[in-house]
Structure 1
Amino acid sequence: MTATAEPRVLKHQALRAQLETLLDGMSVGDPFPAERELAERYNVSRETVRQALRAVLLEGRIERRGRTTVVAQSKVVQPLMIGSYTEAALADGRSASRILVGLTQHTADAELAAALRIAPGAPIAQLERVLTTDGYRVGLETTRLPADRYPGMLDNFDHTSSLYAAIMARGIDFERTEETIDTTLPDAREAALLTVDARTPMFLLNRISYDQNDIPIEHRRSLYRGDRMTFTTTLRAG
């Protein structure tokens, strides 16, 4: 048995197509019409406009700037790989930097200790930074390191530089990673740091990196804006 009925096109889906056509004739940074203007222009309800705008926002074609909406630059395409976020962005021809949120000392709870194969209560160095690309705040990265393994490394660390490079300078090679990817919404603090609405969908990446001796190097939690980032990977048979 086969399905023959044509799928129903909802009002907001039809409007989304019209908005994308409108965007094709606009440039990055141009102000995008307000909800009321769009509702009047296309003779639809404000709710239909909101649904269509949300889809276009998630596609990365528009962005919120306070109470206004403008045409956005294309999304950042980030390969899933072992390496520095900055290096990947620069290889894509974009500018990239980091904003320091905090460098703090903690002790490992049971879960983190198990992940890093250290004793519960062992000292942890935590580095938290906002990731920027082309002036956009696109991610929030929190890295936790076993402090005893990296004595003094972060004392004079340039927070805008690559932590990977600083670790590798100590003769530690990144051999493999284990990573999980989920979707989530930011909490109030995360939304403020990334200057986004709390309803903005996020990619949540949790990674544990291992060295050439299969010893855990770091635990990293990365939160990326779903409206500004796209992730890619290559899978090979066998």
Structure 2
Amino acid sequence: MTAERTFATICRLADDLEARGFAKLPPERQLAERLNTSRSSVRRALERLEGEGRIRRVRGRSGGAFLRMVESTPDATMEDDAADGATRLVERPLETVVGLPQMLRAQGFESGTRVISASFEHPSDVERAYFDITAGDLVAAVLRLRFADGDTLSLESFRVPAARFPGLLESRLSGSMYELLEEKYGVRPTHAHEHIHVTTASPRTAASLGIDVGAPLLKVVRFAEDQNGRPFERSIDLFRADRTVLSVTAHQVGWDPSHM
């Protein structure tokens, strides 16, 4: 990532955190990891923000980069108003099958991924029926934390039948799984059935996403099929409700676009 892109991304993150009333940017090490850049690039961006008067940097264990706009407004009675209009939300379209990195890039966000675990597990009853496998078969399970502009966005559990994708867990798992499956195995997702409902963050999920226990989440359970109509994926995504908006284009039954 270039120095200008690093600076622009951290500026967007600062705007988003200010809108939600947060007074401090993540540490340099976390920013570098989330943005896939060097700590020196992050440090130069923070120095530039400090020179512009956007942040105040404090050394020591309790230090960090503090947002001056939030510090100067101790009265938080307008916080809800700011969240309604100023926070830049990630739009998740419901009518397309696309990987998260591609979706974020299309909206101007810098995407990031941290792989939490990658392992072989026994399939659930639902997975056995959907993948048409037995209890003795295995699924390749990947748990990842996803970022948008350096801030946490979602926790993703990605699961596929292991026998169909040999060597998957030895691959680079920090990018788009859909792009990886297409490039390495010739499998392209074309259809997905998703079930979406609101849930709340458990202590473990809250710790991973850096949010409060009980904070609202959008839980997306996805069943995907490839270009041949063959089931290949069951995933569960937990999106932060304060960072995500769902969108769908709906048409009246019998609607003909040629009439427009």
The TM-score with structure 2 as length reference comes to 0.65
**Counterpart position of 2:30:** none
Secondary structure, in 3 states, of the residue corresponding to 2:205? helix
Whether the 8 Å contact between 1:180 and 1:205 is mirrored in structure 2 is yes
Picking from 184, 191, 195, the partner of 1:176 is 191
Is 1:162 the equivalent of 2:176?
A: yes
Structure 2: distance between partners of 1:211 and 1:106: 22
Offset from partner CA, 1:20-51 (integer Å, 9 cap, x none): 9xxxxxx99531744xx45xxxxxxxxxx6xx
Shift of 1:57: 8.1
Write 1 or 2 for the structure with the bigger share of helix: 2
Is 1:31 the equivalent of 2:70?
A: yes
Is 1:87 the equivalent of 2:126?
A: no
Is 1:197 the equivalent of 2:236?
A: no
Could you list the runs of 5+ residues in structure 2 that have no partner in the other structure?
1-18, 20-53, 56-66, 255-260
CA 1:224–1:149 in structure 2 vs 1: closer, same or farther (change >3 Å)?
Answer: same
**Counterpart position of 1:4:** none
Offset from partner CA, 1:111-135 (integer Å, 9 cap, x none): 2211222222311110010110001
Whether the 8 Å contact between 2:111 and 2:147 is mirrored in structure 1 is yes
Is 1:186 the equivalent of 2:225?
A: no
Picking from 74, 79, 90, the partner of 1:76 is 90
**Counterpart position of 2:165:** 150
Picking from 217, 222, 232, the partner of 1:217 is 232
Counterpart AA for 1:168: E
Whether the 8 Å contact between 2:128 and 2:134 is mirrored in structure 1 is yes
Seq. identity, %: 25
Counterpart AA for 2:157: T
Secondary structure, in 3 states, of the residue corresponding to 2:168? coil
Shift of 1:160: 1.9
Could you list the runs of 5+ residues in structure 1 that have no partner in the other structure?
1-19, 21-26, 39-48, 62-72
Counterpart AA for 1:31: V
**Matching of residues 10-159 of structure 1 within 5 Å:** 30-31=69-70, 33-34=73-74, 37-38=75-76, 59=84, 61=86, 73-80=87-94, 81-155=96-170, 157-159=171-173
State the Cα RMSD in Å: 2.3
Structure 2: distance between partners of 1:206 and 1:173: 19
Total equivalences in the alignment: 186
Whether the 8 Å contact between 1:172 and 1:212 is mirrored in structure 2 is yes
Whether the 8 Å contact between 2:178 and 2:188 is mirrored in structure 1 is no
Computing the radius of gyration over CA atoms, which structure comes out larger, 1 or 2?
Answer: 1
